[in-house]
Amino acid sequence: MIGLNLLAFAATFVFGLVVFGTWTGPVDIRVLYLLGMKSNIDILNGQVWRLFTAMFLHIGPTHLISNLIGLFMLGPILEGHLGHWRFAAIYLIGGLFGSVASYAFSPALSAGASGAIFALLGATVLYFFRFRENFGQRGQEILRSMLVVLVLNLVLGGTVANVDNWGHVGGLLGGVLVAAGLFPTYRPPQVISLEAIQSGRIPLVREANRTLQIGWTVLALLLLVLAFWLASQAGPPLG
């Protein structure tokens, strides 16, 4: 995901140079617009793909770096616990929920991976909350840290100009929704060692639940389509 975001950022340089003869492609609205930033009027007129492409475009290096730092911090934690495809589903579907929320409530042109990053943040908070009894003190510390980061970012997004906070909130809720059905299913082991009891950390046995997780992913996609349809029927803000 970091690589895809970097490739998209490089593409804004190349596209700006080739088409407009400028080295400022990453901050040139003409370039970002043509490459697929979120534009409500165009999405309403059928360019639905902008909901996806906007997730990989960034308005300048500061915007890119801040999001990649978040991805670098959260990605290994969540991917390490859930695996590659579950991580990808949370990132992409949660990010699309962020795009749809921005489309539904914000008229501004926008771009960035922030919605997907908030999806990862919401999924991480939910994961360590659900399994808080099994990770000991370290898990409690991670949960508290993630909650502080979440609150600070939501407050910052609501007070700083030119921040698509609707995209953040949509991504957060989308990430929680998708992740809720993708977590592993565990059961207590048949034999518990004395050492595990004394440490207060009982290792659980992981059960197979892939069919349920695939079904949940399909359900999340259907809810995403429904949310987009409702936003289009209501008439998104066009500025």
Burial (0-12, 13-18, 19+ Cβ within 10 Å), 22: middle
Catalytic member of 168, 193, 199, 232: 168
Q: What's the rounded Cα separation, in Å, for the pair 105 and 167?
A: 9
Verify whether residue 114 is a known catalytic residue. yes
Q: What's the rounded Cα separation, in Å, for the pair 87 and 141?
A: 22
Q: What's the rounded Cα separation, in Å, for the pair 20 and 35?
A: 13
Q: What is the DSSP string of 111-136?
A: --SHHHHHHHHHHHHHHHHHTTTTSH
Catalytic member of 102, 114, 193, 199: 114
Closest CA to 137 of 74, 196, 200: 200
Asked if residue 165 lies in contact with residue 154, where contact means CB atoms within 8 angstroms, the answer is yes
Q: Which two tokens stand for residue 182?
A: 């993708």
Enumerate the active-site residues: 114, 168
